[in-house]
Amino acid sequence: MISDRVRCVQFLFSCLKACKILNISMPIVSLPELKACLKPNQCLLGIDLGSTTIGMAISDVSLVVASPLDTLKRGKFKDDSEKLLALIKERCVGGLVLGLPLNMNGR
């Protein structure tokens, strides 16, 4: 069985591939480098990839606060990615922050 971390990395690279096809530029960078990559008025989309749902949160454009946005019930990757890409365009998202899963004990 594929581990949750491997599944998250596969999901991230699939999203980046879809962004490239749609001519959306999102390089992979460290958190300290992320702010410099954003254009004015872009925000960040936080993604919590679960086995049955995808939780999402959106930042404000000043990158100070993130607020819960929505939860998608997972289905086929094509359908999930289309919803995420539409949200990226609609909300002027300049970067994705993918949460890596932890065990219930926080490790």
Q: Name, of 11-15, 56-60, 72-76, 82-86, the range with top average pLDDT.
A: 56-60
Coil vs helix vs strand at 41: coil
Q: Where are the alpha helices (H) located in 1-107, listed in sequence order?
A: 4-21, 31-37, 77-90
More confident residue, 102 or 38: 38
Using an 8 Å Cβ cutoff, are 45 and 95 in contact?
yes
Instruction: Report the C-alpha gap between 31 and 34 in whole angstroms.
Output: 5
The pLDDT score that the predictor gives to residue 96 is 85
